[in-house]
Structure 1
């Protein structure tokens, strides 16, 4: 029975044989380096754009009990003190008495202030009205109908009010928010 067996060798091509106008497998493989040369830089650019977007959208944070608004953190005191003592408390927290930048910020702070409470802000009159930063107070940026007398400014739910600096009131500290 062993003498009746026939052996044969079968050789198969690695790819499918070309049909119609397809290129043979050896010519299709030449496109792979070109595809990789285009695909890799596109992926690299995509990854870089995602990294830039994530950096631009960094999360801002404030210390506990501070309010975050835009780029700044605000602390509304629960104690009362005179204007100078309030300013020193803000400094001890790494902040300053608030410098109101525009009417929108003033409106937000008025909404956040509690009913019937008065808060010292970083505006004081020496010869002229000046912010803690040394910038002159620009009345055209704010709506104020206060006729009150005093050399320090407070924030109430009604708006900004001039009061005597030795009176005791709450205060609002401001600092730049930190990025995580």
Structure 2
């Protein structure tokens, strides 16, 4: 009986030692995998920053997660929209105060991608979303025959949108968004 008890004690001690070794190996592997994941996350962040700073086509400007192109020619709003689309872009959709301030910094009268062509007083961006935040000049919008929106650059960035007839020739800004 003493021999059996001794053998069982030895087996238990061997199992404890084996268990301790396995737990130690598992912890080492977990630490290694966590370090690898951390390094991969750093690499992903670096690649994202690289994409954001180098992805834009030549002559386009990067801001946030978009590329912008200021036109060199004057066009009516529908032609501006079409010109942007031929470049794989769209007329700028302003989705934050920071972007509004950035676009305003061009100090130029430009078409933006906001219109009420479909229904009077129903201002929508060209992607179909409603304009929830706006930066109208005081008293604007003010005319039922003015269905497109220009940004008048020199005015304060928080109040420089004006409704205008879509047939007026203006510069325009195209935007390509990336995620």
Shorter-chain TM-score above 0.5: yes
Tell me the equivalent position of 1:45.
34
Deviation at 1:41, TM superposition (A): 4.2
Q: Is 2:77 aligned against 1:83?
A: yes
Q: Is 2:44 aligned against 1:55?
A: yes
Name the CA distance, whole Å, in 2 between partners of 1:137 and 1:42.
49
Whether the 8 Å contact between 1:146 and 1:162 is mirrored in structure 2 is: no
Deviations 1:17-44 (A, max 9, x none): xxxxxxxxxxxxxxxx88x835454233
Tell me the equivalent position of 2:176.
175
Tell me the equivalent position of 1:10.
none
Tell me the equivalent position of 1:142.
134
SS of the equivalent of 2:111 reads strand
Whether the 8 Å contact between 1:97 and 1:132 is mirrored in structure 2 is: yes
Q: CA RMSD in A?
A: 2.3
Per the normalisation by structure 2, the TM-score is 0.70
Q: Choose between structure 1 and 2: higher helix proportion.
A: 2
Structure showing greater Rg: 1
* Structure 1 moving runs of 4+ over 4 Å: 38-41
SS of the equivalent of 1:78 reads coil
SS of the equivalent of 2:35 reads helix
Between the two proteins, the alignment pairs up a number of residues equal to 142
Tell me the equivalent position of 1:119.
110
Deviates most, 61-70 or 78-87: 61-70
Per the normalisation by structure 1, the TM-score is 0.69
Structure 2 gaps, min length 5: 1-20
Aligned with residue 108 of structure 1, among 102, 107, 116: 102
Deviation at 1:146, TM superposition (A): 4.5
Q: Is 2:164 aligned against 1:163?
A: yes
Deviation at 1:56, TM superposition (A): 3.5
Name the CA distance, whole Å, in 1 between partners of 2:139 and 2:79.
24
Deviations 1:116-135 (A, max 9, x none): x3111111112121110111
